[in-house]
Structure formats: structure tokens, C-alpha cells
């Protein structure tokens, strides 16, 4: 660090009449002359650099002096501590335990200090977070959600976890290792939902937006075919028609009555119907 700040003179003009000028400069003393440059790297235990970690500096009274953030290479540089000061350093990074140094006396103009952070245990596993909504974006509560685990070598599926959506339609599966999973929902009011998730790296949250489509309710239609005397007519051809809005009849399927005159049509969606027989 230079002892004086960079100074500048006034503008001087040299002409044919004046071929010598005098430019005096008065230099200001650099207030940071006795400041120390503290630098170093922040790594994890595998010697991987940790980016955007907050490095905070405190004096011997535990008052904060200042802070900086690490670069993509894990490098930090701080300028603002006086020579022969007593300081301590802390490092904070989400997903890691906080690092705190002891008190250190800074006795050189260039003080190098590397730090190593330990990863929190839960960050070695992934988390699946989901939101369940209907077709109108309304949250759906109390929906059972199954997490299936897919076997790597035989592709068999088995139930790994089960949870329910809360009043906001939210659900969470946590503490998940690498592997293939399927989010599975089977509710009688909605169409079946599946989503495959391949967790290839941990220390992350996988967000899943689930839109459940209302299941179209279906029912059965049945009856007897009889003559004027109430006797069953077997092998009658029964034709089912759907009634449109303009009362137009659209034939959709047919069947044959049994020996008792009984006929039935299964799994019909909601609507108006007419049966004809011959």
C-alpha cells in the first residue's frame, strides 16, 4: 500500500514566450497505509471452492468491521484492518455449518488465511416439494400422494413413502437419495396422475406442480324388455341414443336382451339418454 494518495497538479501551459513552468504537488497521506490485505480461499472438505460465501471480520470487541463474498474460485479479499490488530473471521454459507476462527493478531501487510466449511448432513439428500391444484388453479387438500421407488436393475416399482396434501394443496417428500422415483396420485374424483423424477444430484429441491383433472363420472343404464302382457322378450335389439342440446338423438351403442329380457349399458358418462328396442 502506497504511503500517499495519488496527487494531481493544476494544469500548466507551455508557450513560445514561457518555456518553463512550475507545477508543485502536495500529496495527502494515505489513511489506509497501515491497513492489511487479508485474503484466502474457502473450500469444502473435498477441496472444492465455495462460491458466494459471506466472510465477516470482527475486532477484538466482537464488533463487525466489514464483510466480503467469495468468488466462483472461492477467493476472498478484504482491505480494512489495521496492522497489529486482533481480529476473528466467520464464514456463512447456506447448506454448511458456520465457520468461526479464533482471535488472530495481524502482524503482516499481506495476511493469507484459508478456511474449510463442513456440509450439513441433510444437504446430502434431495427433497421433493409439490403443489396440487384443480383445473381452475384451486388448491386441493387431503389428497393421498404416493412416492414410488423404481428398482435400478429390474424396473419394479414399490411404494416408498406416502403423504397427504395440506389445506394449501402442498406436500413434501424429504431425505431422498439418488435414484428414480414416481409421484403417483390415484383419487376416485380425479384422473390418475404420475410423474417420473430422476434424482441425479442431492442438495437440491425438486418442485412439482400437479394439476388434477376431474374424473368424468360414469354410471350404468339397464332395464327389461317386455311385451303388452308383461312377458320378457329375449334377444331384443336395444339401441342407446344420447340426447343432444337440440333434442337430436345420436346412436352410440347397442346390445341384445337376455332370456329374461334384461339389458344393460355400462360406464356411461353424464348426460341424457333414450333406449329403443325392436
Q: Is the pLDDT reported for residue 122 higher than 60?
A: no
At residue 42 the predicted structure's pLDDT band, cuts being 50, 70 and 90, is very high
Domain's final residue, options 71, 91, 117 = 117
d(CA 224, CA 229): 13
* pLDDT, tens digit (0-9, with 9 covering 90-100), for 81-120: 888 899 999 999 988 999 999 999 998 889 999 999 998 7
Same domain, 257 and 229: yes
In a domain, 85, yes or no: yes
In a domain, 4, yes or no: no
In a domain, 24, yes or no: no
More confident residue, 29 or 38: 38
Same domain, 109 and 136: no
What is the span of the domain harbouring residue 200? 123-211
Same domain, 194 and 173: yes
Same domain, 86 and 111: yes
Residues ≥6 apart with Cβ < 8 Å to 95: 119, 120, 123, 203
Same domain, 147 and 184: yes
What is the average pLDDT score of the chain? 88
133-145: average pLDDT: 94
126-145: average pLDDT: 94
d(CA 251, CA 239): 7
In a domain, 13, yes or no: no
Alpha helices in 169-254 (DSSP H): none
Residue 246's pLDDT is what? 87
Residue 33's pLDDT is what? 64
Count of H-run helices and E-run strands, the chain? 0, 21
Given a contact cutoff of 8 angstroms between Cβ atoms, the answer to whether 143 and 222 are in contact is no
Alpha-carbon radius of gyration of the chain? 39
Residue 202's pLDDT is what? 76
In a domain, 181, yes or no: yes
Same domain, 206 and 222: no
Residue 208's pLDDT is what? 94
Domain's final residue, options 117, 136, 159 = 117
Same domain, 133 and 195: yes
31-60: average pLDDT: 90
Q: Is the pLDDT reported for residue 26 higher than 90?
A: no
In a domain, 8, yes or no: no
Residue 164's pLDDT is what? 95
Instruction: Provide the CATH number for the domain around residue 57.
Output: 2.60.40.10
In a domain, 154, yes or no: yes
Same domain, 202 and 234: no
Same domain, 195 and 142: yes
Residues ≥6 apart with Cβ < 8 Å to 172: 127, 128, 129, 130, 163
At residue 14 the predicted structure's pLDDT band, cuts being 50, 70 and 90, is confident
Same domain, 84 and 153: no
Q: Is the pLDDT reported for residue 32 higher than 70?
A: no
Same domain, 205 and 233: no
pTM strictly above 0.85: no
Based on the structure, what is the number of domains in the chain? 3
Domain's final residue, options 196, 211, 226 = 211
In a domain, 178, yes or no: yes
Given a contact cutoff of 8 angstroms between Cβ atoms, the answer to whether 255 and 239 are in contact is no
Same domain, 207 and 236: no
Angstrom distances, CA of residue 108 to CA of 46, 82, 83, 84, 199:
29, 10, 7, 8, 48
Amino acid at each position: 500500500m502506497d504511503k500517499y494518495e495519488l496527487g494531481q497538479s493544476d494544469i500548466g501551459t507551455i508557450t513560445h514566450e514561457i518555456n518553463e513552468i512550475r507545477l508543485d504537488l502536495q500529496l495527502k497521506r494515505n489513511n489506509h497505509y497501515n491497513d492489511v490485505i487479508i485474503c484466502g480461499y474457502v473450500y469444502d472438505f473435498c477441496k472444492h471452492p465455495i462460491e458466494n460465501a459471506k466472510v465477516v471480520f470482527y475486532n477484538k470487541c466482537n464488533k463487525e468491521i466489514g464483510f466480503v463474498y467469495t468468488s466462483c474460485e472461492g477467493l476472498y479479499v478484504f482491505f480494512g484492518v489495521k496492522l497489529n490488530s486482533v481480529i476473528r473471521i466467520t464464514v456463512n454459507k447456506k447448506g454448511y455449518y458456520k465457520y468461526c476462527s479464533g482471535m488472530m493478531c495481524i502482524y503482516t501487510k499481506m495476511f493469507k488465511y484459508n478456511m474449510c466449511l463442513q456440509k450439513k448432513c441433510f444437504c446430502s439428500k434431495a427433497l421433493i416439494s409439490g403443489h396440487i391444484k384443480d383445473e381452475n388453479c384451486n388448491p386441493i387438500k387431503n389428497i393421498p400422494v404416493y412416492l414410488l421407488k423404481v428398482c435400478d436393475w429390474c424396473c419394479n416399482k414399490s411404494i416408498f413413502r406416502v403423504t397427504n396434501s395440506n389445506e394449501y394443496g402442498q406436500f413434501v417428500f424429504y431425505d431422498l437419495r439418488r435414484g428414480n422415483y414416481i409421484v403417483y396420485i390415484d383419487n376416485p374424483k380425479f384422473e390418475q396422475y404420475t410423474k417420473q423424477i430422476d434424482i441425479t444430484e442431492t442438495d437440491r429441491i425438486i418442485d412439482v406442480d400437479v394439476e388434477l383433472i376431474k374424473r368424468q363420472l360414469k354410471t350404468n343404464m339397464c332395464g327389461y324388455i317386455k311385451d303388452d302382457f308383461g312377458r320378457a322378450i329375449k334377444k331384443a335389439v336395444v339401441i342407446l341414443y344420447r340426447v343432444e342440446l337440440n333434442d337430436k338423438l345420436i346412436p352410440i351403442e347397442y346390445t341384445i336382451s337376455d332370456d329374461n329380457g334384461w339389458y344393460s349399458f355400462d360406464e356411461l358418462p353424464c348426460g341424457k339418454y333414450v333406449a329403443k328396442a325392436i
